[in-house]
């Protein structure tokens, strides 16, 4: 695939996280894109959110023209490396009287381990995507819609990939020389 769109990247990342959590025993965890276009409130079940932060063009735009004598066309190819940064955050409602449940920080540590695993690297590489190192996990707090303090730990990671655009350009095969006065 030549150009990787945001939705195509999400379709690769979300199953990696979902399948990894299920395999590691984290059942009934929602994995969703953050900042949905509708107000949802604070989810009641454990949730992992993914947010796209930035696209960075890396290096210079590459250009290549290849002449096809049979078709009398030029294939013009432009390539650009991208680094796309995402933030993964998590929310697990805490109940002080139930200390056997895992916390949001436990959930996000697990997701960070999934994202830096060899299995994830292999899946991403098969799709023409690389992953840079996982950044530090930060643990911030907010007041939820029930006036409870909740932790929302997060970390960031960056994917690298090559976008390629290919166009077929007709060539000039005849021309007329004409001298015009100015």
pLDDT at residue 1, as a whole number:
42
Alpha-carbon distance of 83 to 98, in angstroms, equals 41
pLDDT at residue 98, as a whole number:
78
Q: What is the pLDDT along the chain (182 residues), one digit of tens a residue?
A: 466 888 899 999 999 999 999 999 998 998 988 876 666 666 778 999 999 999 999 999 999 999 888 878 889 999 999 999 999 999 998 777 878 788 999 999 999 999 999 999 999 999 999 999 888 999 988 887 777 788 889 999 999 999 999 988 877 777 888 888 87
**b (16+ CB within 10 A) / e for 148-161:** eebbbbbbbbbbbb
pLDDT at residue 172, as a whole number:
75
71 to 63, 67, 141, 169, 171: CA distances (angstroms): 20, 9, 62, 11, 10
Contact 168/101 with Cβ under 8 angstroms? no
Domains plus CATH for the chain? 6-170 (3.30.2000)
106 alpha carbon, distance to own chain's centre = 22
pLDDT at residue 41, as a whole number:
67
pLDDT at residue 62, as a whole number:
93
**Of 24, 23, 16, the residue nearest 121 (C-alpha):** 16
């Amino acid at each position: 695939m030549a150009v990787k769109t945001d939705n195509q990247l999400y379709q690769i990342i979300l199953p990696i996280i979902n399948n990894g959590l299920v395999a590691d025993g984290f059942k009934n965890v929602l994995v969703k894109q953050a900042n949905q276009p509708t107000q949802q409130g604070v989810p009641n079940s454990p949730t992992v959110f993914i947010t796209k932060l930035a696209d960075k063009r890396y290096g210079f735009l590459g250009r290549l023209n290849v002449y096809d004598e049979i078709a009398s066309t030029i294939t013009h190819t432009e390539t650009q490396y991208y680094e796309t940064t995402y933030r993964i955050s998590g929310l697990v409602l805490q109940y002080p009287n139930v200390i056997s449940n895992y916390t949001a920080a436990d959930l996000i540590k697990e997701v960070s381990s999934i994202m830096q695993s060899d299995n994830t690297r292999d899946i991403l590489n098969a799709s023409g995507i690389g992953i840079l190192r996982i950044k530090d996990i930060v643990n911030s707090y907010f007041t939820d819609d029930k006036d409870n303090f909740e932790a929302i730990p997060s970390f960031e990671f960056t994917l690298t990939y090559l976008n390629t655009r290919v166009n077929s350009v007709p060539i000039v095969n005849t021309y007329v020389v004409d001298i015009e006065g100015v």
